[in-house]
Each structure stands twice: as structure tokens, then as C-alpha cells.
């Protein structure tokens, strides 16, 4: 059991760094494609519909 816990403790930081790097890469890719504008427009539309203005 001690071996499995030691292996998990060794792999966990590597997995965390890999996932953060993948997330940053996806955000940058989306920003370069212009997806931020589309998301902002949808968020504004949704917010206005919830308030009842739009």
C-alpha cells in the first residue's frame, strides 16, 4: 500500500502541471480564434434576458 501512495504522490504534481498547461493552451487557442467575443455576446444576451430587458 505504501508503494501506491508514494507513486500517487510522485505523479500528482506532474498531472497538475500538465492539466494547467493544457487549460492555458486551450484558453489561448480560443482567444486567438475570436471565441471570447462570441462568449461575451452570449453572456450579455443571457444576462439581459434574465433581468427581463431583452
Say what the pLDDT of residue 10 is: 85
∠ CA 31-17-38, nearest 5°, is 15
What are the per-10-residue average pLDDT scores of the chain (54 residues)? 77 95 96 91 87 72
Say what the pLDDT of residue 54 is: 57
Say what the pLDDT of residue 31 is: 92
Burial of 6 from C-beta contacts in 10 A (0-12 / 13-18 / 19+):
exposed
* Full-model pTM: 0.62
Amino acid at each position: 500500500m505504501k508503494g501506491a501512495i508514494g507513486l500517487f504522490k510522485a505523479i500528482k504534481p506532474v498531472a497538475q502541471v500538465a492539466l494547467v498547461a493544457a487549460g492555458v493552451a486551450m484558453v489561448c487557442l480560443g482567444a486567438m480564434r475570436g471565441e471570447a467575443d462570441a462568449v461575451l455576446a452570449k453572456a450579455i444576451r443571457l444576462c439581459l434576458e434574465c433581468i427581463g430587458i431583452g
